[in-house]
């Protein structure tokens, strides 16, 4: 099997300070990779460098495109990268307001990606939006409401629907459960797990919450000070951490 994404020696600096450096890994279709570390460890910098929001200073991020096979997305043209960003890639932000148009109805939010790729049938777009509201457990009757009228958990689910509606092949998630109450987090995780399995999604999830990776990610990468300190199967890393920092991370969770 061909990897969907190949990350080769990616580095991003902020002046003299290291954002992240020396990161390499392959992600295969259907695989979910978790990236954990405390704040400042470089995990968000890495995610943004992979997703094209930041330009890495070094390295390649090769994506297996439908049309042309593996292409380095760092050096590809901006139009091509933006096209990727609204078709085969999706990005779920920690704060739903960063990923939603707050002044546009739920239906319009979900429909935007469809319209961006040329869908011009109002009825079909609306049916699609209604279907996706159902899939993220939002009542269809809310289709014309604006996200500002939604709870935090609903906003996050709407953001997920908006991202997944075009059937992306790779989803980047930045602390998807970050700002939510614990009870709401559990529901959202459950929903995400269902969608990932059902759609066979590949995903890269950045989080500081080990419960999230335990539930969603098959593989795990632990970062500290911009470096990857440990990688492996999630259960293996969490149950038998090798690196001192990972041990600390795991034990600190257990203490809670």
Residues 30 and 21: their CA atoms lie apart, in Å, by: 26
Of 2 and 121, CB closest to other proteins: 121
- Rounded to 5 degrees, what are φ and ψ at 142? -90, 10
- Rounded to 5 degrees, what are φ and ψ at 216? -105, -35
Binding segment toward other proteins, per CB under 8 A, in 27-35, 106-114, 184-192, 200-208: 106-114
> Does 256 contact other proteins by CB under 8 A?
no
> Does 122 contact other proteins by CB under 8 A?
yes
Say if CB 195 and CB 164 are below 8 A apart. Answer: yes
| Least Å from the CB of residue 155 to other proteins | 18
Binding segment toward other proteins, per CB under 8 A, in 10-18, 29-37, 90-98, 246-254: 10-18
Of 51 and 203, CB closest to other proteins: 51
Of 50 and 125, CB closest to other proteins: 125
Half-sphere exposure of 84 (CA within 13 A, CB side): 26
DSSP letter assigned to residue 68? T
Say if CB 169 and CB 134 are below 8 A apart. Answer: no
Of 14 and 200, CB closest to other proteins: 14
- Tell which positions 130-189 bind other proteins, by CB under 8 A: 143-144
> Does 113 contact other proteins by CB under 8 A?
yes
Of 142, 158, 183, 45, residue with least CA distance to 101 = 158
| Least Å from the CB of residue 134 to other proteins | 17
Of 121 and 193, CB closest to other proteins: 121
Phi-psi map region of 118: left, alpha, beta (phi>0 left; psi -120 to 50 alpha): left
| SS3 labels along 73-91 | CCCCCHHHHHHHHHCCEEE
Q: Using CB under 8 A, pick the residue from 1, 123, 254, 255 that binds other proteins.
A: 123
Of 117 and 248, CB closest to other proteins: 117
| Least Å from the CB of residue 251 to other proteins | 34
Residues 212 and 176: their CA atoms lie apart, in Å, by: 9
Say if CB 59 and CB 11 are below 8 A apart. Answer: yes
Q: Using CB under 8 A, pick the residue from 2, 58, 101, 197 that binds other proteins.
A: 101
Say if CB 209 and CB 217 are below 8 A apart. Answer: no
Residues 200 and 216: their CA atoms lie apart, in Å, by: 12
- Tell which positions 15-34 bind other proteins, by CB under 8 A: 15-17
> Does 117 contact other proteins by CB under 8 A?
yes
Binding segment toward other proteins, per CB under 8 A, in 30-38, 77-85, 207-215, 232-240: 77-85
Count the site residues for other proteins by CB under 8 A: 27
Say if CB 114 and CB 162 are below 8 A apart. Answer: no
Residues in touch with other proteins (CB under 8 A): 14-17, 78-79, 82, 86, 101, 104-105, 107-108, 111-113, 115-117, 120-123, 125-126, 143-144
């Amino acid at each position: 099997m061909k990897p969907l994404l190949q990350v080769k020696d990616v580095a991003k600096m902020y002046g003299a300070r290291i954002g992240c450096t020396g990161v390499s890994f392959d992600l295969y279709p259907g695989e979910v990779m978790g990236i954990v570390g405390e704040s400042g460890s470089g995990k968000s910098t890495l995610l943004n460098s992979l997703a094209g929001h930041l330009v890495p200073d070094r390295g390649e991020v090769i994506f297996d495109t439908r049309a042309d096979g593996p292409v380095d997305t760092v050096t590809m043209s901006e139009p091509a990268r933006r096209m990727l960003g609204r078709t085969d890639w999706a990005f779920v932000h920690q704060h739903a307001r960063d990923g939603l148009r707050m002044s546009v109805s739920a239906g319009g939010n979900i429909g935007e990606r469809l319209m961006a790729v040329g869908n011009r049938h109002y009825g079909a777009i609306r049916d699609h939006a209604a279907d996706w509201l159902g899939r993220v457990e939002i009542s269809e009757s809310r289709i014309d409401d604006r996200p500002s009228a939604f709870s935090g958990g609903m906003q996050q689910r709407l953001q997920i629907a908006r991202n997944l509606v075009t059937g992306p092949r790779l989803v980047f998630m930045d602390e998807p459960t970050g700002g939510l109450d614990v009870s709401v987090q559990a529901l959202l995780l459950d929903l995400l797990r269902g969608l990932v399995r059902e759609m066979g999604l590949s995903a890269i999830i950045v989080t500081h919450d080990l419960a999230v990776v335990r539930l969603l990610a098959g593989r795990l990468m632990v970062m500290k000070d911009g470096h990857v300190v440990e990688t492996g199967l999630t259960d293996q890393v969490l149950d038998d951490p090798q690196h001192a920092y990972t041990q600390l991370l795991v034990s600190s969770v257990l203490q809670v």
